[in-house]
Structure 1
Amino acid sequence: METGSTSASSAQEIEESLDALLDRARRSQSPLPQQLFSLVAAFIPSHPPPLHTKAYLVLSTLCQNVRSSASEKNQQEEAGTESLARIFQPLIASRLSESKDSDIITGVSFLYALFQVDRQSASYIFQDDGFVDLLSTLIVSPSPPLSLAVARLFAQASGHKTCRMVFPTEVVTWLRSQSRQAGDHAIRAAGILALIKLSRGTTSDSSGPVESPSLGNVERQDEEFTAQLMEMIVGNTDTRTFVNDAVEGLTYLSVAPPIKQSLADTAVLRTLFTLVQKRTKSAGLPDHATVLYGVLAITANICAYKPRLSQEERQVAKLHKLAQGGKQSDSQGDEELSHPLDADIHVQTRCRTAIDSGILGVLAVAAGAESAASRDLVGRIYLSLVEDKRNRGRILQGGGVKNLSRTIKSYPSSSPDSLPSEALVPIQALAKLAITSSPIQVFGPNEGNMMDAVRPLSQLVLHPSASTLQQFEAMMALTNLASHSPVCASKVASFPNLLNRVELLLLDDHTLVRRASSELICNLIAGSDEVFARYGGKEGNDQLRTSKIQLLIAMSDVEDLPTRLAASGALAMLTGTPGACRAVFELQRERHRAFSVIGRLIDPSVQIGDAEGESEATPVKGDPGLVHRGVVCVRNILSAEKSLSHTELVEEVERAGLFMVFSKLLNGDLGSYDSTILQSAAEVAKMLADVSTRVARD
């Protein structure tokens, strides 16, 4: 068999041999020599794409088997690497020693494939004494096909530190010459990619920016390479021969803020996004997954916001800079983190450009990708896009919720603890969208879609790796869902351990977290019979009910207005039951604070613990929502007077100054309010007078 042949019969023979090799590999049998020859020959660039796909599967299976067998015998990873090198190195070396370009290309192409499947063994072979020297002889007046194969091999090797250490200067010089030639875009893109990886890798190896005679100034080189690759992609209708290398090169470059700004160009992005769409529709283009991942990575980089550091993280960063001292603290990473082009205003503009250029269509394709890495990028991109509230409407119209739900469902999880941390990103993006509008606008009229969203949002609240912001946004989204219907509220309330965590978060140090948890509990009390009973509507465990009511009373007296509105709203609903009223009354008798807190909802000048209930000299107008809630609470408690001690009730009302509060409210001393509030207040004043009269008569 002529291994370099591209005839149909040769490809068919190779495929049959691959099938036999795969069968032996699955049965843990050693490959036959002829089968290995066929495997090496299967990666010739001219062979059909389906044959390459099968060859990668066979090679991966064979490598896994060899490593597994070697580790069982030696218990060392290096043993597997050495075993693979012993199998493949003679096959590669024999091909590189041939005189025909077709044979040499076969050996080079196989090592290129091995780098993608098992980089350890490929690097081991690449570093072997004399191997790079042998490769160096191939770049002396090579043919275009051989130049392309060698350039791509060097591009693969450039991504690994151990390989970069053995790169001779003449190879870098040759790669630079290939990157500048204008005749063959494929060779040019491969040379550029190799140089990008070398410069990035060299910088990483030395923990700082490096400028060497062979590599030149990295920043200036990045700008040049970006311009060249953009020109190649935008200016050519047929990019099949170089699209993989060009996209991968831009992926590396797009980390730098100036390059992000350059790539956020409508013409460039539309071309990149079109590449994905074309490959989705064309089954004959096997590089779809590779191009899709690269385009997603580029988009994720240009749309990424600066990390939102907590106070503790900022303090740690300051200490780290102080420890480094002086100019050394201004490392490349710190500079990029604080680069002006990474300011929110620039990121917002880049995100809008990406949306205008068609990224939403790409995300619809990528949400169902087989690659977990691509799905991770989908979540990152959506999270960046929804950060700007102005984008959320377009994302909803573009199927953002459906695509995020597909992405989230691809992560396996039986409990919040088992959910991988990568899944938190798309869930947070979903939470931001769910906060934006009513549940029907977000999830559609199908209530089942809303019910499906409860699980991931609840997992985000419960997950041990969730940040404070993620917990806050998840609770806000659940609050919105709970407000839709009692069915949704009950679904939220019944999620295991969720309500316990939300109640703990009521005591969190962060104001927004306390607010979100208060609002969620309020909506659950309103919509779920189970939660209503838990907080006061069920007879029985008086101690538990009292502790819940006490927590709501405390939250009704915090400085944050939305938190007070939510907690006092829950209190107003619960005091519609005798059990909750008794709990409030018992708390008042024990600590003499509950009635004063309720009084402050109506009159902010009421002093907690002031026996006479005296107010500040200057009346303070309250919030209408708080006033209404306070009036309802007092009315409900007085309505339950039959189960309370009349004498003690009047004493505690007087102690809290509620007579004065309602007098001022009705006299207009606290400002003007809606007639509904004043009518309820008049009823309460009459009830207060009646109960006082009865006590005096008795």
Structure 2
Amino acid sequence: MTPGHQQPLKLPDELAHIIAAFTPSNPSDDRSKAYLVLSAFCQGVRQSNSSQQSDGIDPATRALVKVFSPFILQRLEETNENDVIVGASFLTALFQVDWQAAASIFQQETVLELIIDSVELKPSIQLSVQVAHLLGQASGYKPSRLAFSPEAITWLEHARNSKDSALRAAAAIAAIKLAKGSVADASTDPLSPNNDSKSTNVDGLAQVMKELVIGNDSDTSSLADAVEGLAYMSIDPTVKEDISRDTILLKRLFSLVPKRKSGGAPDSSSTILYGILVIITNICSYRPQLTEEQKQMEKLRKMAKNSGTETADVLEKDDKVKGRVKRVVGAGAMEVIALAASQTDTVGVRVSIGTALLDIVTDKENRGKVLQHGGAKILMGLIKKATSPHATKGNNTPLDIVHLQPIHALAKLAITASPVQVFGPNVGAIYDAIRPLSVMIQHSSATQLQRFEGLMALTNLASASPDTASRIAGSEGLLNKVEMLSLDDHPMIQRAAVELICNLVVGSDQIFEKYATSKTKLQIFVALSDAEDIGTRLASSGALATLLSSPSACNELLSLQLDRHRVLPVLTQLIDPSVIPGEEAESHPGLVHRGVVCARQFMLGISEKENREQMCKEAKEAGLVDALSNVVQDKKTDLEAVGVALEVLKYLGNSRHK
């Protein structure tokens, strides 16, 4: 039956059986199928009720509550324990499938009262564990957190001290989520007092979670709760530092990763896997780079806090994070990530893997280990799943910002080693990397660091082969973006953009011809050859030296010199700045070599006598002759540059006497 607007929504007879399908006594396969059926039904209701919400509740949520609430209340009102377990387990499952509907039911006046009464009147372990799981799910969402009563919180406190490991774990994770969620609620509500006392309720819970993980060999349900609890608590700097130093705990955690792909339902194995990945991600997480305004706000925040927060701030410094990453990688984190990537296809797992790998490869020392464990292949798999054939087109790409993280991690790997070492001998893998790197550079939300390292990665790839360079040059919208970035205010981005263009000029005949015949583009190279940044000058003058092997480029540059008279002074500056009045900079070997090659290509490429004579005159006036003479006389200059300089001097001398 398809739910609609014209008649009251009812739960189909064939679906009524799933109300009792989520109890722990049912086989795992049956629960998995029930999750799929429940999810499909809820999605169908939401698709059929897509109108605007009213009274703060959307029509789909209201419809689902109307259907499920009577069934749940009917079970919770019974005195039979099995009925209560059915009602509580179904509401727990509904939180995992459609939390809005579940939270609305949980907030109803009698629901929580019935639940707490049931465990106070019939406190069996099975029922208590199921109620603790339900409270744990409800603790994850603000609307249902607000419905928690003092009696529910008191019961959780008692359950945390139970001798039963499953109940202790389930109650502890509920307490953690409730405490952290309550603090988050207070921080986002300007009218709510910042009650730090709630956060102290979780003191010692990390140790409880650790003991449950290390000492539990059979109960996968309590293990899943303990891992989830550690995942929540590993956000705290002191906890993540402690976990990273606990070799026994890490070894145990990593051994829990399932060795085969789990089913579609949110069972214990998938929960454990995701929890372990979140722990790795949190431990390896670096502090985000702050803007100047954010830095000032951070200073004010620290001033307002007490001195007890200083320890946490110290533990979040880059050197501390670097140490944590090294310890976790040494304990086998990459094996866990590789295994998870091969067997799981959920968005949450993919995002966690991409985030963790980005933080891991931030330290260059870890990149070799990441490559050894197939890191580039893992990242390419994540990127492929995050995009579709029509997903990216220039700056209008719909790619989520979070999916830039695996691309950024791939860029860091591509910078580190040769393309073959990163992607293997299959050139197809190199070609596949071009598009996502191009997308990241052009993405409107990309950071300066992402653009810079994306440019560097493509520069490295462009050196792999002429075909690779041509493919990079042909990537949609990329070249225009790179040309804009070559004029960027940030010197590092400008340098990286010019270096990429230089490699494309060398590697691609199409790009060579495009730039060699453009006076405007040659003028930009001349200007950038006089930039303040040495790297930019090296790349620009290198591209200029390559382009001037073309007669077309020589003619365009001659026209530029005749119009603006800036070409020869710039070449002189490259070769020997000391001959220019007021210039105190010293010669740079790389710039000297590029300068003399540019001078040779340019001067010898002039065919008409009148132009030759004019250029010889302007070369003398610009100080080029003196600069070349100094190169010949300087014993430190390499012999190749001396030979080229002599050739230019001979040409200038002969041209003056012709």
Is the counterpart of residue 359 in structure 1 residue 337 in structure 2? no
Residues 184-204 of structure 1: per-residue CA shift (max 9 Å, x gap): 111001110111111112112
**CA–CA separation in structure 1 for the residues paired with 2:175 and 2:328:** 28
Residues 579 and 626 in structure 2, CA contact (< 8 A), matched pair in contact too = no
Counterpart in the other structure of 2:591: 626
Output the CA distance in 2 between the equivalents of 1:569 and 1:156: 61
What's the counterpart of residue 595 of structure 1? 568
**Aligned runs of 1:101-180 on 2, under 5 Å?**
101-140=81-120, 141-180=122-161
Q: Does 1:570 find its partner at 2:543?
A: yes
Instruction: Provide the C-alpha distance between the structure 1 equivalents of 2:414 and 2:652, rounded to a whole number of angstroms.
Output: 45
Structure 2 vs 1, CA of residues 26 and 67 (structure 1 numbering), >3 Å: closer, same or farther? closer
Partners of 1:32 and 1:208 in 2: CA distance: 38
Query: What value does the CA root-mean-square deviation take over the aligned residues?
Result: 2.8
C-alpha distance in 1, partners of 2:460/2:400?
25
Q: Distance in 2 between matches of 1:151 and 1:168?
A: 14
- Give the deviation of 1:486 after TM superposition: 0.5
Q: Deviations over 1:1-33 (max 9, x none)?
A: xxxxxxxxxxxxxxxxxxxxxxx3599996567
Give the superposition deviation at 1:615.
Answer: 7.3
| SS of 1:622 mapped into structure 2 | coil
SS class of match (2:386): coil
Within 2, Cα distance between the matches of 1:94 and 1:356? 53
Per-residue Cα deviation, 1:662-692 (whole angstroms, up to 9, x for no partner): 1222122xx5111111111111111110111
The equivalent of 1:663 in structure 2 is 629
- Alpha-carbon distance, 1:426 to partner: 0.3
- Equivalent of 2:504, from 524, 539, 542? 524
Partner of residue 205, structure 2? 225
Q: Mark the CA change 1:527 to 1:562 in structure 2 (over 3 Å): closer, same or farther.
A: same
State the AA in 2 paired with 1:114: L
Quote the Cα distance in structure 2 between the aligned partners of 1:89 and 1:482: 61
Correspondence for 1:455 among 426, 435, 445: 435
The 3 A distance-change label for structure 1 pair 418 and 205 is: closer
Partner deviation per Cα, 1:61-88 (whole Å, 9 max, x = no partner)? 2223333444459878533222222221
Following the alignment from structure 1 to structure 2, what is the Cα–Cα distance between the partners of residues 38 and 126? 21
Deviation of the 1:547 alpha carbon: 0.8
Q: What does 1:457-496 correspond to in 2, within 5 Å?
A: 457-496=437-476
Aligned to 2:292: 314
Question: What CA deviation, in whole Å up to 9, does each residue of 1:375-428 have, x standing for no partner?
Answer: 011110000000000001111111000000000000122424122222211000
Match of 1:193? 173
Give the Å deviation of 1:243.
2.1
Q: Which residue of 1 aligns with 2:359?
A: 384
Q: Is the 8 A contact 1:367 1:403 kept in 2?
A: yes
Residues 556, 563 of structure 1: 8 Å contact kept: yes
* Compared CA separation, residues 692 and 337, structure 1 to 2 (3 A): farther
* Gap change, CA 1:208 and 1:129, over 3 Å in 2: closer
Residue 90 (structure 1) aligned with residue 62 (structure 2): no
Q: Structure 1 pair 33/377, CA: closer, same or farther in 2 (3 Å)?
A: closer
Q: Is the 8 A contact 1:653 1:659 kept in 2?
A: yes
1:243 is matched with which residue: 217, 223, 226? 223
Partner in structure 1 of residue 528 of structure 2: 555
1:586 deviates by 2.0
- Structure 1 residues 425 and 643: alpha-carbon distance in aligned structure 2, compared to 1, 3 A threshold: farther
TM-superposed CA distance for 1:302, in Å, is 0.8
CA distance in 1, matches of 2:353, 2:614: 63
Unaligned runs of at least 5 residues, structure 1 = 1-23, 539-544, 608-613
- Relative distance call for 1:606 and 1:499 in structure 2 (3 A) is farther
Residue of structure 1 aligned with 2:252, choices 258, 271, 274 = 271
Give, in angstroms, the shift of residue 373 of structure 1.
1.6
- Tell me the distance in 1 between the aligned counterparts of 2:52 and 2:460: 58
1:497-549 deviation per Cα after TM superposition (whole angstroms, max 9, x unaligned) = 1111111101101111011011101110100001100111x4xxxxxx11111
- Matched residues in 1 for 2:52 and 2:573: separation? 76
Quickly say closer, same or farther: Cα 1:158–1:349, change in 2 above 3 A: same
The 2-side partners of 1:68 and 1:649 are apart by 75
Q: Deviations over 1:28-68 (max 9, x none)?
A: 99656754541111111111111111111111222233334
Q: Does 1:374 align with 2:355?
A: no
d(CA) in 2 for partners of 1:225, 1:318: 34
1:292 to 268, 273, 279: 273
3-state SS, counterpart of residue 651 of structure 1? helix
Rg (Cα) greater in structure: 1
**TM-score normalised by L of structure 1:** 0.87
Shift of 1:646: 2.3
CA distance in 1, matches of 2:362, 2:560: 44
The residue type paired with residue 439 of structure 2 is: Q
Counterpart secondary structure, 1:276: coil
How far has the Cα of 1:270 moved from its partner? Answer: 2.2
Query: Does the CA-based 8 Å contact 1:112-1:156 persist in structure 2?
Result: yes
Aligned pairs for 1:410-421 within 5 A: 410-412=385-387, 413-416=391-394, 417-421=397-401
- Trace 1:395-474 onto structure 2 (pairs within 5 A): 395-412=370-387, 413-416=391-394, 417-474=397-454
TM-score by length of 2: 0.92
* CA distance in 2 between partners of 1:32 and 1:474 (Å): 52
Question: What secondary structure does 1:206 align onto?
Answer: helix
- 2:270, 2:240 → 1: CA distance? 23
Look up the equivalent residue of 2:17 and give its one-letter code: S
Amino acid at match of 2:607: K
Question: What SS is found at the alignment partner of 1:683?
Answer: helix
Deviations 1:272-320 (A, max 9, x none): 22211445489999433322221111111110011122xxx22244268
| Change over 3 Å in CA distance of 1:492–1:338 after alignment to 2 | farther
**Partner of 1:647 in structure 2?**
613
Residue 685 of structure 1 pairs with residue 652 of structure 2: no
CA contact (8 A) 2:31 2:265 kept: no
